[in-house]
Amino acid sequence: MGTLIEEIFSRKTGKPVQAGEILLLDVDYIMSHDNTTPLAIKAFREIGKPIFDKNRIVLHFDHAYPAPNVMAAENHKMIIEFVKEEGLPHFHRQGVCHQVMIEEGYITPGAIIIGADSHSNTYGALGAFGTGLGSTEIGVAWVTGKCWFKIPETIRIELTGKVMPGVYAKDVMLYIAGVMGMDGGTYRSIEFGGDYIESLPINERIVFSNMSTEIGAKCGLIAADDVTISYLNNETLAKGPFEPLGPVNPRYERVVEIDVSSITPQIACPHDVDNVKPLEEVEGLEINEVYIGTCTNARYEDLEIVAKMLKGKKVDPFTRVIVTSASDRIHKKAMKNGLIEILMDAGCTITGTGCGACIGRHGGILAAGERALTTMNRNFIGRMGSPLAEIYLASPATAAATALTGKITDPRKYL
């Protein structure tokens, strides 16, 4: 009985759990990546006790991989030595950690996953509890298998209606960020629901859970339904059987109702994710780099939207258009089905998979005075390189339309 977060924790503990309670609980998986693992190793060594269960530890190389500098290389070397030394079985370097976590089957409805990455909220799209923590807590969880949680109150975001052609989950989520503000969900569990969410495939639902972080939420949950179960069975290595999981007679702190049918393509403007405007207010602004990638919007369906719009055309000759698939699996499917060839023929630069340009270390760094339009989830000052560059966030369709003209362009012109 209760909100989705109360349901998940009640099932886990076998007794009714309510918002406000503090619990010490077993976690199913403990995730960290090349950026956050070194400090977790430090905390682990300081505690000086053995690992509780190697099977629950999942490590990724994605933030700065392949290493763009000596410091990153030293980090990778140190982590690989640790993985060998401890005999850790789950070590991945095949794309952005959050996408790989889903594909490899670590994320299932009702599971509890902690990650040393703020976008660990992503897992909520499959009815799992995912949240980001500091590295020290990850080291603690390696030793104990446990983590303490204060069960948060829930804000339900009820999304109804159908979006107009050319409008996608990303536009709706940016609109929500504009309405809620960067601290609108602080310490809350955000539950996304309504007939609009129910109508979406998993790749679009993920955008909401992923970007719940941008409104300060502890987690961004979506009920697991038939769509979730069929996705898990067909698109991931997760082993079932799975059952639907949703709120039961929930009591929400607040319900925010949004009709999606009037939402137009949206853009988050510099330098805050909640500085959101309808596209037409910034239409025509010159763009130096279009970056299509990240845990938010670089899934197969996103690449398909872009390829469809760029097929047989050429991108603007003075705009760098960079595409980084979220995972190797997505990239291989895109190659097999000819998407990568279409994108290359159109003049896009294709990189290896991973976090790419999103963290400003490699794969598309911006110069001072440059302006990027990207499918990422953050537009903070300096995130993609120079602090004097500007970052605009948008959907893959808006990114593709902008790639063709070199200016912020409404994708509805190319439908």
Binding mask 69-108 for other proteins (x = CB under 8 A): ----------------------------------------
Range 320-379, binding other proteins (CB under 8 A): none
What are the angstrom distances between the C-alpha of 279 and each of 8, 302, 323, 412? 38, 19, 22, 11
- Is 186 a binder of other proteins (CB under 8 A)? yes
Q: Minimum distance from CB of 247 to other proteins (Å)?
A: 22
Distance CA 252, CA 255 (A): 7
Closer Cβ to other proteins, 92 or 188, answer by number = 188
Return the DSSP state at 378: -
Distance CA 395, CA 403 (A): 12
* Segment near other proteins (CB under 8 A); pick from 127-135, 229-237, 281-289, 405-413: 127-135
Q: Minimum distance from CB of 43 to other proteins (Å)?
A: 6
Residue 150: phi and psi, rounded to 5, are -100, 120
- Is 47 a binder of other proteins (CB under 8 A)? yes
- Is 13 a binder of other proteins (CB under 8 A)? no
Residue 157: phi and psi, rounded to 5, are -110, 110
State which of residues 66, 74, 84, 187 lies at the interface with other proteins (CB under 8 A).
Answer: 187
State which of residues 14, 15, 24, 87 lies at the interface with other proteins (CB under 8 A).
Answer: 24
Is the CB of residue 27 less than 8 Å from the CB of residue 141?
Answer: yes
Q: Minimum distance from CB of 388 to other proteins (Å)?
A: 17
- Per DSSP, the residues of 300-312 read HHHHHHHHHHHTT
Helix 300-310, helix 328-336: angle, nearest 10: 40
State which of residues 43, 128, 273, 305 lies at the interface with other proteins (CB under 8 A).
Answer: 43
Distance CA 42, CA 46 (A): 6
Strands 254-259 and 154-160, bridge-based pairing? parallel
Q: Minimum distance from CB of 219 to other proteins (Å)?
A: 10
User: 40: helix, coil or strand?
Assistant: helix
Closer Cβ to other proteins, 130 or 132, answer by number = 132
* Segment near other proteins (CB under 8 A); pick from 130-138, 161-169, 172-180, 342-350: 130-138
* Segment near other proteins (CB under 8 A); pick from 43-51, 60-68, 88-96, 258-266: 43-51
Position of tokens 């990568």?
A: 340
Distance CA 403, CA 12 (A): 47
Distance CA 9, CA 38 (A): 30
Distance CA 306, CA 224 (A): 28
State which of residues 33, 56, 218, 378 lies at the interface with other proteins (CB under 8 A).
Answer: 218
Determine the length of the chain. 415
Write out the two tokens for 81: 């030595």
Four-residue CA torsion sign, 387, 390, 395, 396: negative
Four-residue CA torsion sign, 262, 267, 269, 274: positive
- Is 201 a binder of other proteins (CB under 8 A)? no
Range 133-162, binding other proteins (CB under 8 A): 133-137, 139-140, 143-144, 146, 148
Q: Minimum distance from CB of 46 to other proteins (Å)?
A: 5
Closer Cβ to other proteins, 186 or 230, answer by number = 186
* Segment near other proteins (CB under 8 A); pick from 46-54, 87-95, 245-253, 371-379: 46-54
Looking at residue 40, its amino acid is A
Looking at residue 285, its amino acid is L
> How many Cα neighbours within 13 Å face the side chain of 383?
24
- Is 254 a binder of other proteins (CB under 8 A)? no
* Segment near other proteins (CB under 8 A); pick from 62-70, 180-188, 338-346, 390-398: 180-188
State which of residues 95, 109, 115, 132 lies at the interface with other proteins (CB under 8 A).
Answer: 132
* Segment near other proteins (CB under 8 A); pick from 47-55, 169-177, 273-281, 405-413: 47-55
Residues that bind other proteins (CB under 8 A): 22-24, 43, 46-49, 118, 132-137, 139-140, 143-144, 146, 148, 183, 186-187, 216, 218
